Amino acid sequence: MADLLVGLIDKKKPKTAIDICCGSYNLLYAAKRRWTGINLIGVDIIPHTAKNVLCINLDGREYAINQKQKYPLILANPPFSSKNNNEKFSMLYNGIFARYRTSRLENEMLLANLHLLDKDGLLVIILPSTFVESEKSSKMRILLANAYHVKKIIKLPNNTFGSTGIRSYALFISNKIMQRKITKYYEVISQGDNLNISQERTIDQRIIRKGHWLNHICKNISKIDIRRGNISSQMFCTEGFIVLHTAKRNNNWSPSIRYIMENPKNPVFTESGDILISRVGKSAGQWTIYNGEKALISDCLFSLRDSGGSIYEKIKDKEYNGNIRGVVTRYITKKDFLSWITTASR
Q: What is the pLDDT of residue 329?
A: 87
**Model confidence over 209-261: pLDDT tens digits?**
989 887 655 555 556 889 999 999 999 999 999 999 999 999 999 999 999 99
Rounded CA-CA distance 85/82 in Å is 9
Q: What is the pLDDT of residue 179?
A: 63
Mean of pLDDT values over 53-65: 95
**Model confidence over 78-130: pLDDT tens digits?**
999 988 776 789 999 999 999 898 989 999 999 999 999 999 999 999 999 88
Contact (Cβ atoms closer than 8 angstroms) between residue 126 and residue 173:
no
CA angle 45, 150, 343 (to 5 degrees): 105
Q: What is the pLDDT of residue 87?
A: 74
Q: What is the pLDDT of residue 66?
A: 94
Q: Is the CA virtual torsion 234, 240, 246, 249 positive or negative?
A: positive
**Model confidence over 159-196: pLDDT tens digits?**
888 767 788 999 999 987 766 678 999 999 887 788 99
From 4, 6, 5, select the one nearest 38 (Cα to Cα).
Answer: 6
Q: What is the pLDDT of residue 328?
A: 78
Give the pTM.
0.68
**Model confidence over 268-305: pLDDT tens digits?**
999 999 999 999 999 999 999 999 999 999 999 999 99
Rounded CA-CA distance 340/335 in Å is 8
From 31, 171, 33, 34, select the one nearest 42 (Cα to Cα).
Answer: 31
Regarding predicted confidence, which is higher, 29 or 167? 29
For 236-249, the DSSP string reads -BSSSEEEEE----
Instruction: Enumerate domains of the chain plus CATH numbers.
Output: 2-218 (3.40.50.150), 226-344 (3.90.220)
From 272, 322, 325, 267, select the one nearest 296 (Cα to Cα).
Answer: 267
Q: Give 231's DSSP letter.
A: B
